[in-house]
Amino acid sequence: MLGTVASGEDQKVTLETLDGRKYVSATVSRITSDGVVLTTSDGVEKIRFENLAESVQKQFNYHHEKTVSPIKGRIGVSRQWRVSPKSQGGISIKFISREQLEAEKRKELENQRVPSTEWPYRFGDVPKGGTIEVTIHRSTIGAANLSYFSYIVEAGGRELLRMNGQEDIANIPIGNNQWWNLELIDLPAFEGVLNLRVVDRLSNKAFDFRINPPGNSGM
């Protein structure tokens, strides 16, 4: 099992996931509470810690807390959440519900033939409110650095969370010749409609998005 982490400003890793995927000299873009975001020649990908050997997890200072969750038999096909607008100002939004994340986790565990008795412990790090993926495109490498962006999420008329992006150099342009970056916003449990404001502090502009749950007309 590969698992080496090089120190330095541009941290490089060589590792192999539990499901057999190998990453050689990948750049660590960001470390989150439940995984590590890697940049390779193919783009950006988030690897969850549960898909890494414990020895590799420790190198990222991850210590899994076992939390029992009644997952088995509860996961079904998630109905579609709608984002409006899906894209504006070079910013695209995608919402992944907790149901979708759990379905992906379940498929992963089934593929790895993990005993069902271990499943509840493996779902402890799935964000209770789902995840918002924010993809940012800008014409220059500096303007796409996540440190220039802030995020405000409201649910039910109340602020759910507020966060600033961390220093993260943009990725090489692909296709549209624009530099791009990816922010993952893990949400706590909430009810109702989500309102997301993305603030580009470099240009002093704000972009608003509405994420409607299934069955909500958005009116």
DSSP the chain: --EEE--SSS-EEEEE-TTS-EEEEEEEEEE-SSEEEEEETTEEEEEEGGGS-HHHHHHTT--PPP-----TTT--PPPPPEEESSEETTEEEEEE-HHHHHHHHHHHHHHTT--GGGHHHHTTTS-TT-EEEEEEEESSTTTT-GGGEEEEEEETTEEEEEEEPPP-PPBPP-SSS-EEEEEEEE-----S-EEEEEEETTTTEEEEEEEEPTT----
Give CATH 2.30.30 domain extents, the chain.
Answer: 3-59
What topology does CATH give the domain 3-59? SH3 type barrels. (2.30.30)
* Choices 2.40.50, 2.60.40, 3.90.1170, 2.40.170: CATH for 82-212: 2.60.40
Q: Which two tokens stand for residue 61?
A: 């200072």
How high is the pLDDT of residue 21? 81
Structure-block tokens of residue 18: 């539990």
> Which pLDDT score, from 0 to 100, does residue 149 have?
97
Distance separating alpha carbons of residues 24 and 3, to the nearest angstrom: 10
pTM of the predicted model, to two decimals?
0.63
The pLDDT of residue 64: 56
Q: Kindly report, residue by residue over 44-63, the tens digit of the pLDDT.
A: 888 888 788 888 887 877 76
pLDDT at 147 (0 to 100): 95
| Portions of the chain given CATH number 2.60.40 | 82-212
In this prediction, residue 183 carries a pLDDT of: 95
Mean pLDDT per 10-residue section of the chain, whose length is 219 residues: 48 81 84 80 80 81 52 48 95 92 86 82 85 95 96 94 92 83 94 96 97 74
Please state, in angstroms and rounded to a whole number, the distance separating the CA atoms of residues 19 and 158.
40
- Tens of pLDDT along 67-82? 434 444 444 444 689 9
Is the peptide bond prior to 70 cis by the omega test (within 30 degrees of 0)? no
Query: 80, 81, 83, 78: which is closest to 93 by C-alpha?
Result: 83
Give the position of tokens 């709608």: 82
